[in-house]
Amino acid sequence: MAEIVCLDIGGSKMLGGILSEAGAVLATRREPLSSRDPRDVAHQAAALVRALLDQTGVSPRGIGCAIPGPLDRRTGTIVHSPNLGWRNIPFAAILSQACRLPVALDDDARCAAIGEWWRGKRQHAECILFVVVGTGIGGALILHGRPIYGATDNAGEIGHTVVLIDGPRCSCGKRGCLEAAASGWALAEAGRKSARSGNAPELLTLAGGSADAVGADHVLRAARCGSPAAQGILENAGAMLGLGIANAVTLLNPQLVIIGGGVGLAAFDVVLPSIQRALRCHALAPAAQAVTIAPSSLGEHAGLIGACWVFLRAHPE
């Protein structure tokens, strides 16, 4: 029985942890990402891993790493990560060399979904749709107790399903994607527009008087303070998020939809009624009746725990 070192690397942070083979988190360390150069990231990770091992005195079997994709699991290559600005980086090999340990890596949203399924509050659920609402919107699928990768490891991209034909332009270049209607950046954009128009004085005040400074967090705080403009923005985002989820529920018939991500967790109670309304209105009744909508139960540990499972599956011993 040996431990696994797990990493969750994002566009701006690096979280490291020591986990037992059963997925229990024994220790963690969190740092801001100091550079996005792949070798710098690997060296920062190696230092973080050393610090965790010194602190705990364990001799780990290897490293499981959650990282923004799309990536090719088999070769451990980041194919194209907009969050990190990487293209075709063989990061598993680079990280393995820097840490002198075997490495298995997988997409961060998929790792978080696997973590929730393996060690979350609702471990009985075998069919799960995981939706990550952060700056963008990502997602992952667990069906019949197996992570779904798709033909080229790109499955789960609910953020880029179209909810509104000819709708607003998305970060991916298409129009009308769920991400363009309900992500952190879309909320911020709608908030700035509203603040500029003079319709949202509360929002402008919360952002220190500058419409350009309005972020998704300001929209959420203004809505909680009773701003009708901010409430309208969140209601619209919730309705679109609900429509995107309803279509996935009709197609996949999951027991459980888990909402994660910074924006999703912060806004969960505010948007839940809109999501439930959309499910009743837009999802096929037998599928809508079978599903529960819940916030992520493992918080920022979900990715580490999923990365642990990914390592154990790749190196079963």
> Which residues of this chain interact with a second copy, rule CB under 8 A?
70, 125-127, 139, 141, 143-144, 146, 148-158, 160-165, 172, 174, 176, 243, 246-248, 250-255, 281-282, 284-287, 290-291
Compute the least distance from the CB of residue 52 to a second copy, in Å: 34
Inter-residue contact 15 to 303 (CB < 8 Å):
yes
State which residue, 129 or 206, has the beta carbon closest to a second copy. 129
For the chain, what is the largest distance between any 2 Cα atoms, rounded to a whole number of angstroms?
63
Please, which residues have CB within 8 angstroms of residue 232's CB and are 6 or more apart in sequence?
none
Q: 179 vs 300, which CB is nearer to a second copy?
A: 179
CA 192 to CA 204: how far, in whole Å?
A: 8
Task: Give least dist CB 82 to a second copy, A.
Answer: 12
CB 223, min distance to a second copy, A? 23
Give the residue with the Cβ less far from a second copy, 60 or 254. Answer: 254
In the block, tokens 């907009």 appear at: 82
3-state secondary structure 167-217: CCECCCCCECECHHHHCHHHHHHHHHHHHHCCCCHHHHHHCCCCHHHCCHH
Least distance CB 186 / a second copy (angstroms): 17
By beta-carbon proximity to a second copy, the closer residue of 42 and 243 is 243
**Min dist. Cβ of residue 209 to a second copy (A):** 37
> For residue 285, what are the CA distances in angstroms to 141, 282, 291?
21, 9, 10
Given the complex with a second copy, which of 37 and 126 has the nearer CB atom?
126
Smallest separation, CB 149 to a second copy (Å): 7
Supply the minimum distance, in Å, between the C-beta of residue 164 and a second copy: 7
The residue among 28 and 250 lying less far from a second copy, judged by its C-beta, is 250
Nearer to a second copy, 231 or 250 (CB): 250
**Is the separation of the CB atoms in 262 and 296 below 8 Å?**
no
90, 76 contact by CB (below 8 A):
yes
> What's the sign of the alpha-carbon dihedral 157, 154, 83, 264?
positive
* Minimum distance, C-beta of residue 163 to a second copy, in the bound complex (Å): 8
Would you tell me how many other CB atoms lie within 10 Å of the CB of residue 191?
31
Q: How far is CA 141 from the centre of its chain?
A: 12
State which amino acid sits at residue 25.
V
Question: What does the CA dihedral 219, 222, 227, 228 come to, rounded to 10 degrees?
Answer: 20
Nearer to a second copy, 53 or 140 (CB): 140
Nearer to a second copy, 154 or 205 (CB): 154
Please answer whether residues 1 and 61 qualify as being in contact, where contact means their C-beta atoms are separated by less than 8 angstroms.
no
- Nearest approach in angstroms of CB 226 to a second copy is 28
User: DSSP per residue over 52-92, as a string?
Assistant: HHHHH----S-EEEEE-S-EETTTTEEEEETTTTEEEE-HH
